[in-house]
Amino acid sequence: MTTHPRSPAAGLQGACCRGCSVAVYPADAACPRCGGPAEPAVLKSAGTLWTWTVQRYAPKSPPYQPPPGGFEPFAVGYVELDEGVRVAAVLEVDDLDAIRIGMPLTVRAGDGVPRARPTTAAEESS
């Protein structure tokens, strides 16, 4: 039985080029750098915040449907993984003003866009 690529149990399903060793996310059969074949690879989930922005206003309706509790501002950013891949993710942080470039984050796959949360001290030391 195979795991669905967006399942949290599957990890971040990327690909690595056989020829030039570039890693990509999401997975692709061809390398974006040299065009050679790329093999599926599970990418590490640890990384650092490369850049971010905060969505402070609700998108226009339609097609946006506000959630029952109303719109809440949220942050999105690019997390640079150890493999050099930058992954776009929703940042799951308690304080939007505490976000800083270079902060350690852990990325997980899921339905839709990946999610990233601050890495704990225990995770950093392992």
Q: What is the pLDDT of residues 68-84, one digit of tens each?
A: 999 999 999 999 999 99
Q: Is the pLDDT score of 126 beyond 60?
A: yes
Q: What is the pLDDT of residues 14-25, one digit of tens each?
A: 999 989 999 999
The span from the CA of 47 to the CA of 87, in Å, is 9
Query: Mean of the per-residue pLDDT values for the chain?
Result: 88
pLDDT score, position 122: 73
Q: Is the pLDDT score of 38 beyond 80?
A: yes
pLDDT score, position 1: 31
pLDDT score, position 123: 75
List 91's β-bridge partners, or say none: 75, 116
Token pair of 123 as six digits: 């995770």
